[in-house]
A and B are shown apart, each in its own frame.
Chain A
Amino acid sequence: MARRYLAVAAFASLIVAIQMATFFTGTGYHLTQLTMTAYYSLVTVGLCMLIGYAGQISLGHAGFFAIGGYVAAFLTTWNLNPYQGVFVSLLKRSGALVPRTDLYGGTLLTVHPWLACAAAILLTIVIAYIVGGPVLKLKGHYLAMATLGIGIIVYRVVLGTDFLGASDGISEVPGFPLPGGLAIIGDASSRVSNYYLAWGLVILGMVLLLNLIDSRVGRALAAVHGAEDAAGAMGIPTARYKLYVFVLSAVFAALAGVLLTHYNGGVGPSEAGVMKSVRYVAIVAIGGMANLWGALSMSLVLNYLSLRGYFGTYDDAVFGVILVLIMLFAPDGLLRRHLLSDLKRVFSRDPSEEEAP
């Protein structure tokens, strides 16, 4: 257990070190992409739990990210002023609705971001629960195709719905207020605080997942992954556990969607795109599947490079290529436990070190 928290502390130091480095080199603008990277990383580690530890693939997690982002964006930008009535005034008095001014000085009455966030998470849980029940009965590439279908449905719905902004998405989303005068918002003045807030949340998520892996439920999930029939024979309700971990990973994705939408000030249909889902899976794969730290570090590097535009117009292609190469040459991922000994074996000519058949 001590080792678990030591790794967390090491990662937290890395996050601080990166911020220090940008501070002393005067390159604070990097923090914007690094903050966005943090939210994408939250999706990745949740997905890593589902794919790597519970053995269930999902090619539709960008859909859950988008559900979170769109619900938050819609509710916090939907002006309720024209709908004055008993219900609206009641909501207003209870603090569920907040008045604010828009960019052009007009007054808006919109849902409080915290309430919108709760609604987004709740809707995600309901959808993941309803969809996950039947879909998780499938295995392997059938499950992959079904979840891919879910992602495509979400994508086409947000793209084709006028009040969700169709292909423009939703913009002018306000910041997400936090206690202590903080807010999740993309202003340059709150860049550092947002960087720490975002990565703090990722670290919190990591602690929760690392704890889970080492618990009774974590063993049960690994058992479901390894031999589902035998897990059932040990009294583990396999269908329920698969569903719960699916919902858990969907909540991670939706929360990331909500907060990144507030940070960016908007959300667009590309967040729901299939290539986004493929990207999350590719990062989990290159990170070593059942390796939360691998997924997190790969997410940090690759998302950052992608967001800084290093992959240029080949952005999506890069992640596709990564996925193909990993599946072909290193199905256990690039970062894995026996990496060093495996490398030694590759370069050694001693046949006794070859893996026994």
Chain B
Amino acid sequence: MTLLSVRKIGKRFGGLQAVNDLSFDVAAGSIKALIGPNGAGKTTIFNLVSGFLHPDCGEIVFGGEAVHAMPSFQVASRGMVRTFQNIRLFPKMTALENIMVGRHVHSRAGFFAGMLNLPSTWEEERRIREKSIEIMELLGIACHAGTEAIRLAYGQQRVVEIGRALACEPKLLLLDEPAAGLNMRETNEMGGLISKIREMGVTVLLVEHDMSLVMKISDEVVVVSYGEKIAEDRPLAIQKNREVIRVYLGDDAC
């Protein structure tokens, strides 16, 4: 079953065609990777899918609903949640509070309920806290709950950011270079974590530069170059694809 369907989208920045006539599907329950050389348009595609940018043409269908014209918060509330290449945690908030923000779409208390501290919000607050702690325990970062999030080690910040996204209980998790800045051991752990997330029933779409990670965990890989899709296949087939080798290593390598 297809969870996300990107259909013939295009995006132009001035004279640069950043994304051109690009289509791919993400099957529910799979891990799909988006790779390509620097400047290929991967992050633009990510921004288009998550509602941070809107395509000039084409459509993006998520769970049977067209989402390409929605602002990012509406996309998120429908169950497609992203992380950022440069970690974007909320400063001056603890790791736990960061993850509690992730429960936003699953809770309801508004301005008046909050100001009046209505008893009806107490139960909700308790559930938000419990669920957030549960997620931290699952990710093995519960010991950092009370620490200001941006004071944690880089690798831990990444995990907190993923935890925050998981707190939204997404159907589709978009990971923008989850292994960027991590050492080899941390990258391995990240691979294990992503597989674990998929086992929880969350579909994953990731952009990643670390080829060993991509080849190990993904079910399918989409390769983009200059904003166009040049290949889409299983990892082993992608490694042998002549066109992919050409864009990564140059003509002489073939």
Listed in ascending order, the chain A residues whose CB lies under 8 Å from chain B are 208-209, 211-212, 214-220, 222-223, 226-227, 229-238, 244, 248, 290
Q: Identify the closest chain A residue to B174 (Cβ).
A: A233
Q: Identify the closest chain B residue to A213 (Cβ).
A: B114
Contact B52–A211 (Cβ < 8 Å): no
Are A230 and B89 CB-contacts (below 8 A) given A211-B117, A219-B97, A223-B101? yes
- Give the one of B73, B76, B102, B109 with max A CB within 10 A: B73
Contact A235–B121 (Cβ < 8 Å): no
Contact B89–A212 (Cβ < 8 Å): no
A202 to B10, CA, bound (A): 54
Q: Identify the closest chain A residue to B91 (Cβ).
A: A226
Contact A220–B104 (Cβ < 8 Å): yes
- Nearest-neighbour CB distance to chain B for A84, whole angstroms, equals 41
B107 within 8 A of A: yes
Contact B168–A211 (Cβ < 8 Å): no
A216 to B97, CA, bound (A): 10
Q: Contacting B90 at CB < 8 Å: which of A227, A237, A244, A290?
A: A227
- Nearest-neighbour CB distance to chain B for A4, whole angstroms, equals 9
A226 to B52, CA, bound (A): 18
Contact A219–B76 (Cβ < 8 Å): no
Q: Using Cβ atoms and an 8 Å threshold, which residues of chain B touch A216? A: 103-104, 107-109, 114, 121, 124-125, 128
A208 to B104, CA, bound (A): 21
B190 within 8 A of A: no
- Nearest-neighbour CB distance to chain A for B225, whole angstroms, equals 27
Q: How many residues of B contact A (CB 8 A)?
A: 40
Are A233 and B115 CB-contacts (below 8 A) given A216-B109, A216-B125, A219-B97? no
A214 to B100, CA, bound (A): 12
Are A226 and B115 CB-contacts (below 8 A) given A233-B81, A235-B104? no
Q: Identify the closest chain A residue to B98 (Cβ).
A: A223
Contact B73–A219 (Cβ < 8 Å): no
Name 14 extra pairs, CB < 8 A, besides A211-B117, A233-B52: A208-B116, A212-B111, A212-B114, A215-B113, A217-B109, A222-B92, A222-B93, A232-B71, A234-B164, A235-B77, A236-B73, A236-B104, A237-B71, A237-B73
Contact B76–A232 (Cβ < 8 Å): yes
Q: Identify the closest chain B residue to A208 (Cβ).
A: B115
Contact B104–A234 (Cβ < 8 Å): yes
A150 to B218, CA, bound (A): 54
Contact B101–A220 (Cβ < 8 Å): yes
B20 within 8 A of A: no
A229 to B46, CA, bound (A): 14
A-B pairs with beta carbons under 8 Å apart, 9 shown? A212-B111, A214-B117, A215-B115, A215-B125, A216-B128, A231-B90, A233-B72, A234-B101, A236-B101
- Nearest-neighbour CB distance to chain A for B136, whole angstroms, equals 16
A149 to B92, CA, bound (A): 31
Contact B93–A219 (Cβ < 8 Å): yes
A248 to B115, CA, bound (A): 11
B156 within 8 A of A: no
A236 to B77, CA, bound (A): 8
B88 within 8 A of A: yes
